[in-house]
Amino acid sequence: MKKVIIRIIFLILLILTFYTIFMFSSQVAEESDGISQGLLRKIIDNFPYTKNLSEQTKLKLVEHGNPIIRKLAHFSIYGLVGIWIMAFMSTFQTRLYKKWIGSMIVGVRICYAR
Q: Where are the domains of the chain?
A: 2-113
pLDDT at position 114 = 57
pLDDT band at 10 (very low <50, low <70, confident <90, very high): very high
What integer best gives the mean pLDDT of the chain?
88
Instruction: Say what the pTM is.
Output: 0.76
Q: How far apart are CA 101 and CA 86, in angstroms?
A: 10
What mean pLDDT is predicted for residues 84-97?
A: 87
**Residue 112 vs residues 7, 17, 96, 108, 109: alpha-carbon distances, Å:** 25, 16, 24, 6, 5
Query: What DSSP designation does 28 have?
Result: -
With CA atoms as reference, report the closest residue to 85 among 106, 101, 64, 66: 106
With CA atoms as reference, report the closest residue to 21 among 57, 83, 87, 75: 75
pLDDT at position 111 = 65
